[in-house]
Structure 1
Amino acid sequence: MEGCRVVALSKTQENLDTLKESFPAVKTITNDITRWETTRRKVTEAGPYNCLVNNAGIAILEPFLEAKSESFDSVFNVNVKAMFNISQAVAQQMIEHNIKGTIVNVSSQASQAAFKDHAIYCASKGAVDMLSKTMALELGQYGIRVNCVNPTVVMTQMGRIGWADPVKSEPLLEQIPLGRFAEVDEVVDAILYLLSDKSSMVTGVTLPIDGGYLAR
Structure 2
Amino acid sequence: MADFTGRTILVTGASGGIGGATVRRLVASGADVIASGSTAEGLEPIVAETGVESLPFDLTSEDEVRAAIEGRDLWGVVNCGGWGGEIASPVDTDIDVFDKVIAINARGSLLVTKYAAASMIRLGRGGAIVNVSSQASLVALVGHISYGSSKAALDNITRVSALELGKYGIRVNSVNPTVVMTEMSAWYWGRPEIEGPTLERMPLGKWATEDDIAGPIEFLLSDDAGMISGVSLPIDGGYTNV
Q: TM-score, normalised by structure 1?
A: 0.94
Task: Tell me how far 1:156 sits from its aligned partner.
Answer: 3.3
Task: Tell me how far 1:134 sits from its aligned partner.
Answer: 0.4
CA-atom RMSD in angstroms: 1.3
Q: Are 1:23 and 2:50 an aligned pair?
A: yes
Task: Tell me how far 1:157 sits from its aligned partner.
Answer: 4.2
Question: What CA distance in whole angstroms lies between the structure 2 residues aligned with 1:167 and 1:14?
Answer: 36
Task: Look up the match of 2:15.
Answer: none
Question: What CA distance in whole angstroms lies between the structure 2 residues aligned with 1:122 and 1:155?
Answer: 18
Q: Which runs of 5+ in 2 are unaligned?
A: 5-28
Q: Are 1:206 and 2:199 an aligned pair?
A: no
Task: Look up the match of 1:40.
Answer: 66
Task: Look up the match of 2:195.
Answer: 169
Question: What CA distance in whole angstroms lies between the structure 1 residues aligned with 2:40 and 2:193?
Answer: 34
Task: Look up the match of 1:53.
Answer: 78
Question: What CA distance in whole angstroms lies between the structure 1 residues aligned with 2:148 and 2:189?
Answer: 18
Number of residues of Structure 1 aligned to a counterpart in Structure 2: 214
Q: Are 1:107 and 2:137 an aligned pair?
A: no
Q: Which runs of 5+ in 1 are unaligned?
A: none
Task: Look up the match of 2:35.
Answer: 8
Q: Are 1:80 and 2:106 an aligned pair?
A: yes
Task: Tell me how far 1:12 sits from its aligned partner.
Answer: 3.1
Question: What CA distance in whole angstroms lies between the structure 2 residues aligned with 1:115 and 1:32?
Answer: 28
Residues 6-64 of structure 1 show CA distances to partners (whole Å, capped at 9, x for unaligned) of 1011113332001112112x00012211111111111224x211110000111222221
Residues 94-114 of structure 1 show CA distances to partners (whole Å, capped at 9, x for unaligned) of 111102100000000000111
Task: Look up the match of 2:9.
Answer: none
Structure 1 residues 99 and 157, CA, compared in 2 at 3 Å: closer, same or farther?
Answer: farther
Residues 79-126 of structure 1 show CA distances to partners (whole Å, capped at 9, x for unaligned) of 011111110100011111102100000000000111111111111111
In structure 2, the residue corresponding to 1:116 is in which secondary structure? coil
Question: What CA distance in whole angstroms lies between the structure 1 residues aligned with 2:30 and 2:234?
Answer: 28
Question: What CA distance in whole angstroms lies between the structure 2 residues aligned with 1:195 and 1:156?
Answer: 25
In structure 2, the residue corresponding to 1:84 is in which secondary structure? helix
In structure 1, the residue corresponding to 2:126 is in which secondary structure? coil
In structure 2, the residue corresponding to 1:138 is in which secondary structure? helix
Task: Tell me how far 1:162 sits from its aligned partner.
Answer: 4.6
In structure 2, the residue corresponding to 1:207 is in which secondary structure? strand
Structure 1 range deviating more: 101-110 or 167-176 = 167-176
Percent identity of equivalent pairs: 38
In structure 2, the residue corresponding to 1:65 is in which secondary structure? coil
Match of 1:62 among 88, 93, 109: 88
Question: What CA distance in whole angstroms lies between the structure 2 residues aligned with 1:92 and 1:191?
Answer: 22
Provide runs of 4+ in structure 1 moved above 4 Å: none
In structure 1, the residue corresponding to 2:230 is in which secondary structure? coil
In structure 2, the residue corresponding to 1:22 is in which secondary structure? helix
Structure 1 residues 204 and 150, CA, compared in 2 at 3 Å: closer, same or farther?
Answer: same
In structure 2, the residue corresponding to 1:7 is in which secondary structure? strand
Question: What CA distance in whole angstroms lies between the structure 2 residues aligned with 1:194 and 1:22?
Answer: 24
Task: Look up the match of 1:187.
Answer: 213
